[in-house]
């Protein structure tokens, strides 16, 4: 195993499920030592979410690779003392409790930064650490609504729908990771002090909503659901092929549009001066969608893709998990990684993103067993075997 980009960086993870743990997962994939604190009774609930293998979630094995699992009951003062000792040695602490929870336990920013002035603390919550909603419970489903995403997702004649993954959590994780790296750069390169990063789930969603706010501020325009099309940008939509499969075609660049029209035998549209620019095409979007649909419906998906590839028109099938598993490009880019579960069962994991040329991320081990590293981590703190056994018998670990 080659040294990772973050080799030597120590991360203490406090929290559960997705937003906080996914942020630390990204750091673990690039060599950081991540110590995940879990309650002794059952551990992180993610361990039993979705499809299970031998009682443990496959999602858990994906998200928790390269982490060390330490069991501590944070409701006990002795456990909190151990957390303070770990935080005193850490570069980054990541947590996603409801604001005020860690302060109640004496583990908040003020307490931990007093022990370690160079500490970086990522705090992910539904609504942030301040403001009138800060004490409300917040999950990604609610954040996606408040951030504006759900309102624009789906078809105009149907209720708003969710994206098929916990996108609000993942976006918050990415912003938390970026914040941690920025703050650590400030400590290690600028010789600054530590700081905390306040990431709200709804703000992470809101931050990627493109021109939603200026369009409303300038024109009073409220963006609405538009189904599979790209509003105001034409043509770009999902089209049904003659064999029942769907194809996404993005012909919205001026030159791309002309190539697309030539490929489908509609040079009359490709040469129409009124369609030469996007604003003209957007005004006649329904006409263009009808022309493209008429062409795709007479052909199977593979033929459609072959013709459009030859014309250099961006297009693609709507991939299922089965399509991904068999796709040669995923395999060539090492985006399907073969690994082994603790019982020897083979498992495929998603590849690591981004790809660094000199110090790429890697999977060193899949998600750990509950408490697998408790003894080793506590021993490294100078807690001897007799004391570790006492803590275990008392339910602290």
169 is catalytic: yes
CB 16 within 8 A of CB 44: yes
CB 136 within 8 A of CB 211: no
Distance CA(267)–CA(287), nearest Å, equals 14
Distance CA(339)–CA(367), nearest Å, equals 11
- Which residues fall within 8 angstroms of residue 91, CB to CB, at 6 or more apart? 9, 10, 11, 118, 119, 120, 184, 187
Over its C-alpha atoms, the chain yields an Rg (Å, rounded) of 25
Residue with tokens 């990541």: 94
- Which residues fall within 8 angstroms of residue 159, CB to CB, at 6 or more apart? none
CB 397 within 8 A of CB 71: yes
DSSP, res 166 = -
CB 249 within 8 A of CB 315: yes
Distance CA(150)–CA(22), nearest Å, equals 22
- Which residues fall within 8 angstroms of residue 284, CB to CB, at 6 or more apart? 234, 274, 275
The structure tokens listed for 194 are: 């530590």
Distance CA(361)–CA(356), nearest Å, equals 7
The structure tokens listed for 109 are: 């920013």
State the catalytic residue, choosing from 44, 169, 198, 289. Answer: 169
Stretch (H or E) spanning 92: strand 92-95
| Omega before 161 within 30 of 0, i.e. cis | no
- Which residues fall within 8 angstroms of residue 331, CB to CB, at 6 or more apart? none
Distance CA(305)–CA(299), nearest Å, equals 10
Cβ neighbours of 218 (radius 10 Å): 9
Going 317 to 318 to 324 to 326, the CA torsion angle's sign is negative
CB 46 within 8 A of CB 25: no
DSSP, res 71 = E
Catalytic residue list: 169
């Amino acid at each position: 195993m080659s040294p990772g980009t973050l080799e030597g960086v120590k991360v203490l993870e406090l929290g559960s499920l997705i937003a906080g743990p996914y942020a630390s997962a990204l750091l673990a994939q690039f060599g950081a030592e991540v110590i995940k604190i879990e309650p002794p009774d059952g551990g992180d609930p993610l361990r039993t979410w979705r499809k299970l293998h031998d009682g443990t979630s496959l999602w858990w094995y994906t998200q928790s690779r390269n982490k060390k699992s330490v069991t501590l009951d944070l409701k006990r003062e002795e456990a909190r003392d151990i957390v303070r000792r770990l935080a005193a040695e850490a570069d980054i602490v990541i947590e996603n409790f409801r604001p005020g929870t860690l302060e109640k336990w004496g583990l908040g920013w003020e307490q931990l930064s007093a022990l370690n002035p160079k500490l970086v603390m990522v705090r992910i919550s539904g609504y942030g650490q301040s403001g009138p909603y800060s004490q409300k419970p917040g999950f990604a489903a609610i954040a996606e609504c408040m951030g504006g995403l759900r309102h624009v997702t789906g078809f105009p004649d149907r209720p708003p729908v969710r994206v098929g993954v916990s996108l609000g959590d993942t976006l918050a994780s990415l912003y938390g990771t970026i914040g941690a790296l920025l703050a650590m750069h400030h400590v290690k390169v600028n010789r600054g002090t530590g700081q905390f990063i306040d990431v709200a789930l709804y703000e992470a969603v809101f931050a990627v909503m493109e021109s939603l706010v200026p369009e409303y501020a300038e024109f009073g325009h409220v963006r609405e659901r538009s189904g599979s099309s790209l509003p105001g940008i034409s043509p770009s939509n999902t089209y049904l092929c003659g064999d029942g499969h769907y194809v996404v075609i993005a012909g919205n660049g001026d030159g791309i549009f002309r190539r697309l029209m030539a490929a489908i035998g509609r040079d009359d549209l490709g040469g129409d001066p009124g369609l030469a620019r996007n604003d003209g095409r957007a005004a006649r979007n329904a006409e263009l969608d009808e022309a493209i649909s008429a062409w795709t419906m007479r052909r199977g998906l593979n033929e459609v893709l072959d013709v459009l590839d030859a014309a250099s028109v961006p297009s693609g099938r709507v991939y299922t998990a089965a399509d991904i598993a068999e796709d040669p490009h995923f395999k060539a880019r090492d985006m399907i990684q073969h690994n082994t579960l603790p019982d020897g069962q083979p498992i495929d994991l998603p590849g690591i993103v981004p790809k660094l040329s000199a110090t790429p991320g890697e999977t060193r081990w899949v998600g750990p067993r509950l408490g697998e590293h408790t003894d080793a981590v506590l021993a490294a703190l100078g807690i001897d075997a007799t004391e570790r056994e006492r803590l275990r018998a008392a339910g602290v670990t």
